[in-house]
Structures are given as structure tokens and as C-alpha cells.
Amino acid sequence: MTPVRLAVRHVTSRPLRSALTVVAIGLSAGLVGFLYLVNGALKNDWSENMGRRAMVMAKSSFFERLPMAYLAKIEDVPGVQRVCPFDFLMVFWQNDRPENMVPFQAAPADAFLEVYIEAKIPPDQVAAWKADPTGSIIGPILAKQHSWKVGDRIVLKAPVPGGVVETTIRGIMTYKLDNGLYVHRKYFENVTGDAGQVGMYWILAKSRSDVARVTAEIERRLDNAPVPIRAMSEKQWQLMFMDMLGNVQLLLGGIGLATAFTLFLITSNTLAMSARERRGEAALLRILGFPRRTVLRLLVLEGAFFGAAGAVLAVGFMVLFSRLVESALIETQWAGIGAMLNIDAVMVAVVASLSFLVAVLSSLVPAINLSGRPVVSLAREAA
């Protein structure tokens, strides 16, 4: 009987243990692959136009306001196509429950529509919004969440004098990833009483290659400004915003490392048990004249079988996790991340290789230990 057939027979002789080991390997390696996909998605542009945009905010705090006097200086920077002064508040509809929180944002209509290329609002709705000084446009996620439609008059609880903001919905974006409410900047100034200052500047560069030069030049020109600024790409700004929740990428890396280590322990434990059970078989093979490397090969082959079967399951689990997360995010502002959880041939190869290599490496220690034992010792322990 060949070493391959001996290994197969031993694996199949313990079907429950073998099945659980394969599932554990597949689940662990699949989770590592999924976390790698999420980490990659966070580094990519969530929108095809994100790479053309930049943000300018106060250097000291996310909530410190900037003078409107900076607008002309930013517009004068080479490579800038349009600058949009941008403000935001968190307000509530009906009550203060988290699910009724509404991102309340303000910008000049023409600048906003040019910078926010993805918005894509029907022309008649754009005209209606521009004609209504207190009107607003909303994202489709918000419209679906609260069953709002064009023409609805809504009252929002807000941290402004009087405590409320009223607006009529004049348009709904076709960009499916937006969940905000946007009003005219002049109306925002009227309800907040804060004219002459802005939360940040949203910038559309003429091309992707201009963004780095634009941000560097803005920081240079406003280096000694009364309110120090920080200019960055929109992607950097979004990642910085996420980092307020914690170092997401470090968290994902830590979970992945812990999962890989768990995978190693699971496989090592199973193969160590297998090595103990094979002491009699190893002694018999040595007595019959088989060399030590044959005994070593048997355990390594067993680990390879676990790794190959686990690799198939790992790819399946990775696909499953990706589709579940994509479905869960499809109607949220994070849907852009879900759409980027694409599994290509490289990811399949990485996950399959991880599963196979960890299983094989886990088998080396018990295999070397078993093959190096004296025949007399193996025979006595087996008896």
C-alpha cells in the first residue's frame, strides 16, 4: 500500500474529526481572506470621482470653522476646477433615536452640483430646488428609510436658535449611496446665524493628477492664515473620519493574525492526535524496513489533504462572507465598500495557499517527532 493510500485511509477512518478539522481550516482561512478584502476596499476609491476631489478643513479640530475669506484664495490655486463651501449638522426627525438621525448639510447649489458629480438629480427637480430658498434635496437611502418623497414638508430637531429647521424636499438623487439632506448655504446661515464662516471646503480638481499638487499648494498659501488648515484628498478625509471610530485597519489586521494563529493551533492539534494514534503503524513500517522519511511523509500527506480540502471550503466561505456583507450594506452609505469586495484569481490563490501551507507546516513538528522516534520505543508505546 502506497503512502498516499495509507494517508487517505487514516483520514477517512475518523470522519467526524476530519470533517470538523477541514471546516475549521476553511472557516479560519476564509475569514482571513475576507478581512483582507475589507482592508483592500477601505484603501480604494469608493466612487469613480473620489480621486478628483479634495477637502480643506481646520487643522486643529474637525468642528472648528474656517473663514469664507479663504474661498477666493483656494479658487486661485492652479488645478482647481470648482470650490464648494460645505457645512453640516446632525439633526433628528420626530425624536432623538439613532435611527432618526439625519445628516443635515449645506452648500451653494451650483458649486455643489458641479463638485458632487455623482448626485445626478433630474433637471426639473434641480430647477425646483434652486427656486425654493428653503428647499432641500435628499439621498435615496434617506428617502427610503423615512418614506420621504418630493414635495414633503419636514420639520427637523436641530442645534440651532429655535430648535427646529423646516424644509421642503424638492429633489431626490439617483446616486444610490447617498443618505444626506442638503439645503442652500444661505438658508443654513439664516437658521444658524453663523454667516462668514464655513465648516470645510470641498474641491473638485481638474484631474486626478492635480489633487496632490492642489492640496500641497493650498497648505503652502494658507500656512500662516488666522485659522490653520489641513488639505487632503477626499479619500484621506474619509479614512480620517473612520479613524475616529478607531484604527480600523489595525483592528482588521489583528483579527486576521489571531485567526491565522488559531488555524495553526487547530491543525497542529489534529495532526498531533493523529501522530499519537499512528505509533503502532509507524513501528510496523519501520520493522518492515521502510525508512524514516516514509513515516514523515504519511503525516505531511495527511496535513496536505486537510489543507487542500480546507482550501476549497476557505474560498467558499470567503465568497459567502463577501456576499452577506454586500447584501447587508446595499442600502446604506457604506454600499460602496460592499461593491468593492470583489474576489479575483489572486485572492483565491492567496486564501487557498494560506489554508494549504498552514496545514502542511502544522504537520511538520509531529511528523518529524514521530519519524525520529526509535522503533523499540514506538512498539512499546503502541502496545
pLDDT digits (tens, 9 = 90+) for 121-164: 999 999 999 999 999 999 988 898 899 999 999 999 998 888 99
Distances (CA, A) of 42 to 28, 189, 246, 255, 340: 21, 34, 14, 16, 9
Retrieve residue 92's grid coordinates: 433628528
CA quadruple 297, 299, 303, 306: dihedral sign = positive
Secondary structure class of 321 (helix, strand, coil): helix
In the prediction, which pLDDT does 3 show?
A: 63
Q: DSSP readout, 323-352?
A: HHHHHHHTTSTTHHHHHT----HHHHHHHH
Q: What percentage of residues in the chain have a pLDDT greater than 70? A: 81
Please give the C-alpha separations between residue 25 and each of 258, 319, 357, in angstroms, as whole numbers: 13, 15, 11
pLDDT tier for residue 251 given thresholds of 50, 70 and 90: low
pLDDT in tens, 317-343: 999 988 888 777 776 666 666 666 778
* Encoded amino acid at 273, one letter: M
What confidence score (pLDDT) does residue 235 get?
A: 83
Give 167-210 pLDDT, tens digit per residue. Answer: 999 999 988 878 899 999 999 999 998 888 999 999 999 999 99
Residue 97, classed as helix, strand or coil, is coil
pLDDT over 90 for what percent of the chain? 37
Query: For the residues 251-269, what does the mean pLDDT come to?
Result: 73
Helix (H/G/I), strand (E/B), else coil: 159: coil
What's the pLDDT at 333?
60
pLDDT in tens, 262-295: 777 777 777 777 666 666 566 666 666 666 677 6
Q: Does 212 score more than 90 pLDDT? A: yes
Per the document, the length of the chain is: 383
Query: pTM for the full model?
Result: 0.70
- What is the three-class DSSP state of 67? strand
- How confident is the model at residue 329, as a pLDDT? 72
Give residue-wise pLDDT tens across range 13-60: 777 877 888 888 888 888 888 888 887 777 776 677 888 999 999 988
Quick one: cell of 2? 502506497
Average pLDDT, the chain: 83
Task: Tell me, rounded to whole angstroms, the distance of Cα 383 from its chain centroid.
Answer: 55
**pLDDT value at position 378?**
56
* Residue 20 cell numbers, joined: 470538523
User: Would you list the domain boundaries of the chain?
Assistant: 3-46+247-382, 65-226
Of 40 and 115, the one with more pLDDT = 115
Helices and strands of the chain, counted as H and E runs: 15, 11
Locate 202 and state its grid cell: 470641498
pLDDT of residue 265: 76
For 164, the grid coordinates are 427646529
Residue 60 half-sphere exposure, CB side, CA atoms within 13 Å? 7
What SS3 class is residue 319? helix
Considering only the C-alpha atoms of the chain, give the largest distance between any 2 of them, rounded to a whole number of Å: 96
DSSP 31-54: HHHHHHHHHHHHHS-SSTTGGGEE
- Hunting for cell 492642489 — which residue is that? 214
